[in-house]
Amino acid sequence: MDWQRSVGDGFICAGSQLTVASPPRRVSPFQIKRRVVPKDNFTVDWSLLIIFVVVLVVSGVGVSVLYRFVGRIKQEFQQHLPALRITNLSAMNAGAVVTLTPEVENVGRGAAHDCIVQLAGWEGHFAVQRIHPQGPRYQRHSVPIVLGQDEPIRMKLLSRCHLRLAYRDRWEQRYECWYPVAQVKNVNSSLYDIQIDLAHPELTEPHPSFREMWRLLRRTHANEALP
């Protein structure tokens, strides 16, 4: 068999057969090499994604449950808190004597204990052991404040004058409600008349933490469970 080779023309002949030789491929230096990623990496990536989604769902459920628990504790705690307020006020003048009669009412949800009503420049005071909120034992208290011409609040101008309500809740936390009092000079006498602002009281109230609320409620439930 006769072989003929023509390198320049790129042909190889063998007998009567003609074969076309392919030119060698040149790889460009700028050709981007494809990265072969093992299939196991895809499995790992999906596992991490599933774990992340599961953790996210569990965390969301946990936060929701915790939020509801905190809200329930705060709501239950609020149901035991009292709130004494002056809901009405009457005044009567009899000569040089002025009688103020504020009506004290518990507008909260829990009973108020050790209740005191005081007026700056008034030597008297009103005290009652317990004032209940709306319910079977609800009662509104009228407090007569008789201010004669010898009372300090009628004779001289005070630097700071308030009508004060002080009371405690069932856990002995202290509350105060301060009503601003204005002294107005009477043109017909040298005495001062009294005006009480019921619309803008100043409140002094405790602000327990969530942990303290929970502890106080646990103590209440334990006391109520006793025979």
Q: What is the CATH number of the domain that holds 205?
A: 2.60.40
In a domain, 56, yes or no: no
Closest CA to 85 of 199, 6, 207: 199
pLDDT in tens, 113-122: 999 999 998 9
In a domain, 2, yes or no: no
pLDDT in tens, 69-96: 788 888 888 999 999 999 999 999 888 8
In a domain, 168, yes or no: yes
In a domain, 170, yes or no: yes
In a domain, 188, yes or no: yes
Coil, strand, or helix at residue 101? strand
**What is the spatial distance between Cα 141 and Cα 184, in angstroms, rounded to a whole number?**
27
**What is the spatial distance between Cα 112 and Cα 133, in angstroms, rounded to a whole number?**
8
In a domain, 18, yes or no: no
Residue 118 structural domain: 84-225
In a domain, 100, yes or no: yes
pLDDT in tens, 150-193: 999 999 999 889 999 999 999 999 999 999 999 999 888 889 99
Closest CA to 163 of 209, 92, 101, 81: 101
Rounded to an integer, the average pLDDT of 99-105 is 95
Nearest-10 Cα torsion for 169, 175, 180, 181: 60
Q: How many domains does the chain have?
A: 1
In a domain, 4, yes or no: no
